[in-house]
Chains A and B, each alone.
Chain A
Amino acid sequence: MPQFDPTSFASQLFWLAVTFIALYFLLSRLVLPRISEVMEKRSERIANDLERAEALKTETEAVIEAYEAALAKARSEASAVIAKATSDIATLSAKRQAEFGEELAMRMVAAEERISKAKQQAESQIREIAVDIAADVAERLTGKAIDAESAAQAVDTQMKGNG
């Protein structure tokens, strides 16, 4: 086998050393720094982007939180306003109802007073009229004048009897 022919060993070793060292310098000086630079830049960029995304996310979350807080505040405020309005209306209507009731009662009392006054008046007028009529009727029937005193007595007795 040619692999075990030592005449070419020196040449192979020499050129291996030359080419390998050349490749080592070409790669370590020229190629590898470029590749690592590009890859570092990329990972930096990705890290930056991730960082920015993270920052934006936290910002968004803060905004959402603030919005929700504002919403909750507005809600509680609104419910407070509604509750106040409801109680205001309730007190107002209670007050008005009370006032109206009082007035109604007052008016009823006044009306009753007026009615009883009118009734009294009417009763007394009825009596006078009855006395007059009774005297008149008795005079016409008997032909003689009946004094007012006895007519009134008779009328009173009759009215009391009838209740």
Chain B
Amino acid sequence: MAASPIEQFEVYPLLPIQVGNLDLSFTNSSLWMVFAVALSTVILAISARGGALVPSRLQSVSEMMYELVANMVRDNVGSGGRKYFPFIFTLFVFVLFANLLGMIPHSFTVTSHLIVTFALAAVIFIGVTIIGFYRHGFGYLRMFFPHGAPLWTAVILVPVELVSYLSRPVSLSVRLFANMTVGHVLLKVIAGFVVSLGVFGIFPFVFLIALSALELFIAALQAYVFAILTCIYLHDALHMH
């Protein structure tokens, strides 16, 4: 039997760094984060360099991503969303490249760790909440009580809305983490079958190819979902429903 399907999520230090009590070692996870940043920056910078009137193939990659996120921000955040465009774009690019690089065999999927996705989701959650209170003051608390509902329903509605609001970072982070983790575990398990079944391994192999394609699609889709949900939360904070 091949290596455990969990092994691919192992984090191990490449360059031990100890600051006081904290272990801030440069790990394989850190390495793939750096790869994601470097690759995305290089691709986008190179493709943006041409500046031709009719975009070349590479140029249209960066322009399509730009348009995708710009439309997403315009449609979902609405007015005042322009300011947050660079952040949303960075978020999208980071998650997208982390997911896609994770598809390389023997690489490490940064976004398959809950701590990473939760950190991103927590930053979004805290930032959105701060923006909401900054824009609307205590009026932002009306978020938890739908406008026009009878007053007595507050007993039910406020806790429900509060729970749904507080569960946002959890659902946002768990969705990405679970998708990445499960996908990679599945790929690893099927790949193990390919080896152990010998000649008949051809069947799981065909399935593996299809599954890889699906995982590539999911990698892109989850980056999109992550960014679009951030846009929706931002819209709530800016415009209150």
* Bound together: yes
Q: Which residues of A contact B (CB under 8 A)?
A: 1-5, 7-17, 19-20, 22-24, 26-28, 30-32, 34-39, 41-42, 45
Please tell me if B130 contacts chain A, counting CB pairs below 8 Å.
Answer: no
* Interface SS of A by simple majority: helix
Most buried by B among A1, A10, A27: A27
Please tell me if B25 contacts chain A, counting CB pairs below 8 Å.
Answer: yes
* Cα separation A7 to B52 with both chains bound (whole Å): 49
| Number of B interface residues in the complex (CB < 8 A) | 51
In contact, A15 and B86 (Cβ under 8 angstroms): no
In contact, B86 and A3 (Cβ under 8 angstroms): no
In contact, B90 and A39 (Cβ under 8 angstroms): no
Please tell me if B119 contacts chain A, counting CB pairs below 8 Å.
Answer: yes
Please tell me if B177 contacts chain A, counting CB pairs below 8 Å.
Answer: yes
Q: Which residue of B lies closest to A42 (CB)?
A: B53
* Contact indicator per residue, chain B 62-104, by CB within 8 Å of chain A (1) or not (0): 1100110000000000000000011101100110000000000
The 8 Å CB contact of B62, one of A12, A28, A31, is A31
In contact, A19 and B33 (Cβ under 8 angstroms): yes
Question: How many residue pairs, one in A and one in B, have C-beta atoms under 8 Å apart?
Answer: 133
Partner-contacting stretch, out of B4-12, B158-166, B202-210, B223-231 = B4-12
In contact, B45 and A31 (Cβ under 8 angstroms): yes
Please tell me if B30 contacts chain A, counting CB pairs below 8 Å.
Answer: yes
CB-CB under 8 A from B33, the residues of chain A are 15-16, 19-20
In contact, B41 and A12 (Cβ under 8 angstroms): no
The 8 Å CB contact of A16, one of B13, B53, B116, is B116
Q: For the A-B complex with A4-B114, A11-B25, A16-B120 known, give 10 more contacts whose Cβ atoms are closer than 8 Å.
A: A1-B6, A2-B10, A5-B11, A22-B37, A24-B87, A26-B37, A34-B48, A38-B50, A38-B52, A45-B53
How many whole Å from B220's CB to the nearest CB in chain A?
18
Beyond A31-B44, A32-B66, A45-B53, whether A3 also contacts B115 by CB under 8 A is: yes
